[in-house]
Structure 1
């Protein structure tokens, strides 16, 4: 079975992320969306909230699993017996970081491949950070995130 891991913070998941997930699910037998728990960062949504939203918006994609991890990605990839890591590229500005990331993954395990998927052009500007910023000030994010995420963002920022 060809298993790939799509790691990220997904704080929150956007339609750009969903585009990569759907396309990855067409290439691989199974895609694991792995939500990173990074104790050094202060995400808006908890890991539990993020995994729950991702499960809801990927429910119709039958070969997608949602999980979370902390620590080294390579250890998680080994634990899942995966052979590929999927990374999304939006623009040339992402490339330098992603090249360093892929090079380190290759150093840690030469048998694990990193697959870069270019995002759909209509999502090339989109990031979780920009979505949160627009949502924080009450801007329209309807076409940027799934409805469940839009509602969750409105609730988070209403509480602040």
Structure 2
């Protein structure tokens, strides 16, 4: 896999047509053990799993897009079929450019389902891209990047919620503030 490369999003990818491809999208600010659980599970089901790091110019993240990509690449290094990229715009356009027929999303609670179902219906209506929902491991059902950042900012122990590389990066980032 071409780990660490940042393909030109305007140029369509052409991969072998028989490969099963999916994307796990998100902001990953920062990536948590819950995210990694979904990514790892998707990597067992698909030949290539793209982790698409969302670029949202209206939101200021704690980590830059490049830092998020680097952290995700570090913590997925043992998953040979995972490729990490950023995207700006509609996820279905990201999927079309790379001929990705499926989006994999983790669901923590029923409240996630309401929003994600609307998005899934919009995505299939716009482009025919399917969305597969994966129930989150119960150990991570409460976990979100926002909650991790908040607990860390108040000095709480998040070592069991994020990989060690992310813990180190998060602590370093918070010391800078």
Q: TM-score, normalised by structure 2?
A: 0.88
1:121 pairs with 2:138: yes
Corresponding residue for residue 159 of structure 1: 176
Distance in 1 (CA, whole Å) between partners of 2:36 and 2:173 is 22
Distance in 2 (CA, whole Å) between partners of 1:67 and 1:101 is 21
SS in 2 for 1:82: coil
How many residues of Structure 1 are paired with residues of Structure 2 in the alignment?
159
RMSD between superposed Cα atoms in Å: 0.6
Query: In the TM superposition, what whole-angstrom CA distance separates every residue of 1:84-134 from its partner, at most 9, and x where no partner exists?
Result: 011110011101110111011011012x11010111011000000000000
From 52, 56, 62, the equivalent of 1:38 is 56
Give the alignment of 1:2-21 within 5 angstroms. Answer: 2-21=20-39
Deviation at 1:159, TM superposition (A): 1.2
From 64, 67, 80, the equivalent of 2:85 is 67
Query: In the TM superposition, what whole-angstrom CA distance separates every residue of 1:38-97 from its partner, at most 9, and x where no partner exists?
Result: 101111100000000000000000111111110111110011110101111001110111
Distance in 2 (CA, whole Å) between partners of 1:137 and 1:154 is 11
Gap regions ≥5 residues in structure 1: none
Gap regions ≥5 residues in structure 2: 1-18
Distance in 1 (CA, whole Å) between partners of 2:136 and 2:43 is 14
* Runs of 4+ off more than 3 Å: none
Distance in 1 (CA, whole Å) between partners of 2:63 and 2:176 is 13
Corresponding residue for residue 138 of structure 1: 155
SS in 2 for 1:85: strand
Deviation at 1:137, TM superposition (A): 0.9
Distance in 1 (CA, whole Å) between partners of 2:107 and 2:84 is 21
